[in-house]
Amino acid sequence: MDYGFISVFLGVYLDLLEFTPLQLGIVLSAVMAGGTLSNIVASWRGDTIGRRRMLVVMALLMGLGGILFPLTEEAALLVAISLMAMTTSTGGDRTAFLSLDMAILAQSGSSSQRTMLFSWYNLLGRLTKALGSLMIAVPAVLQAWLGMEEVASYKAMFLAYSVIAFSGVAIYWRLTPSAESMSAASPESEPPPDMPRSARTIMVQLAVLFSLDSLGGGFMVLSFMSFFFANRFNMSLETIAAIFFAGQILNAVSIMLAVPIARRIGLITTMAATQGLANSVMILMALTGNWLLAVVFFLTRELINDMDIPTRQSYSMAIVPTEARTATASVTNLGRTMAQAVSPALAGVVAQATALGIPIIVGSLIKLVYNGALYAMFRSVKAPEEIRD
């Protein structure tokens, strides 16, 4: 819920503070850089530290970030807070929360159930994010009912964000030892088993490809999209909230469609084809000057866009050994966050130098290159359940 809220709210909040596109991009890059740091730790020592322990600490940092965000309006301080806040500007998780969740979930069922488990995981997350996106309309209610000033009403929302974040501490605290790596039962003095060379190669290839995907995605994170709608079409906060709520619901439908489509055409084809179509629609959205068409194109993209999420997560966990799953999830997500730590700032530079829609076009073209490269490199590498005797 928090991620659905903050990913949309942050762009509108910074627009209210009269941040320039460049300042906005730097803050959003700092958010992604914080996720990058968490994935570095998870890929290096995540299983040794313990998955449960890492998740609890990150939930604490996330709640603390919500407390600190409204205490300053200085860009430099907001950048510093963003680095440790374990949050997102994309609408999707890019922190080690996702990496550790993926590793835990992948060992919780059989290979035939894996994609379905990831679909339910993402579906529940998407529905709560949809509720979170509606929260950005609350400041208008606070202003009307309580007479709060506009900026103060926005800052008050970070309190609710913190409460939800701190509730994650209690949830993660209840994880059982079965959530830990299978190699964690051995003494900490013993190093984890060496990763096979083939698994390392796959991990690096996936990390490079997913980084390219995220580099493009960073040009159009949800915080930038909310800034785009508010700035280009002068949309109200309530309208933006409704658009993003509808988008999150369509994302949930997209996730539900992923499993039957993947069973029919395969995980890799599902990932590449649906993303290719979604990115083409985003180019159309950026080119139109009509607000209604822009909304239609955006919602069309949201209906298609998330079919690759459970399929990508399932596939990356399926084609590496069990003991390599935490490292693979962390390194591939590390590549994604490193790319998106740079691209929002680049998007701000491009938008300020050209036009607000140009970063969306650039990001979509980069992602189309990723779609083609992924299919070319991995179309013959099947997940275990896809292999036929």
Structure tokens at 350: 């491009």
Whole-number pLDDT of residue 227: 85
3-state secondary structure the chain: CHHHHHHHHHHHHHHHCCCCHHHHHHHHHHHHHHHHHHHHHHHHHHHHHCHHHHHHHHHHHHHHHHHHHHHCCCHHHHHHHHHHCCCCCCCCCCCHHHHHHHHHHHCCCCHHHHHHHHHHHHHHHHHHHHHHHHHHHHHHHHHHHHCCCHHHHHHHHHHHHHHHHHHHHHHHHCCCHHHCCHHHHCCCCCCCCCCCHHHHHHHHHHHHHHHHHHHHHHHHCHHHHHHHHHHHCCCCHHHHHHHHHHHHHHHHHHHHHHHHHHHHHCHHHHHHHHHHHHHHHHHHHHHCCCHHHHHHHHHHHHHHHCCHHHHHHHHHHHCCCHHHHHHHHHHHHHHHHHHHHHHHHHHHHHHHHCCCCHHHHHHHHHHHHHHHHHHHHHCCCCCHHHCCC
Model confidence pLDDT, tens digit, residues 153-167: 999 999 999 999 999
| Residue recorded with tokens 């409204």 | 70
Do 230 and 240 form a contact (C-beta atoms < 8 A)? Answer: yes
Whole-number pLDDT of residue 295: 95
- For residue 124, the tally of other CB atoms under 10 A from its CB is 12
How many whole angstroms separate alpha carbon 216 and alpha carbon 43? 23
| Rounded average pLDDT per 10-residue block, the chain, 389 residues | 77 88 85 84 86 94 95 94 83 78 87 89 83 81 92 93 93 91 52 59 90 88 83 86 86 92 94 95 93 95 93 92 84 78 80 85 94 94 78
Tell me the whole-structure pTM to 2 decimals.
Answer: 0.78
Residue 358, CA distances (Å) to 117, 215, 362 in order: 37, 15, 6
Residues in the chain, total = 389
Whole-number pLDDT of residue 196: 56
Whole-number pLDDT of residue 89: 64
| Residue recorded with tokens 């990356």 | 316
Model confidence pLDDT, tens digit, residues 347-373: 888 888 888 889 999 999 999 999 999
Model confidence pLDDT, tens digit, residues 220-246: 877 788 888 988 898 887 888 889 889
Residue 385, CA distances (Å) to 202, 267, 271, 315, 347 in order: 18, 10, 17, 10, 40
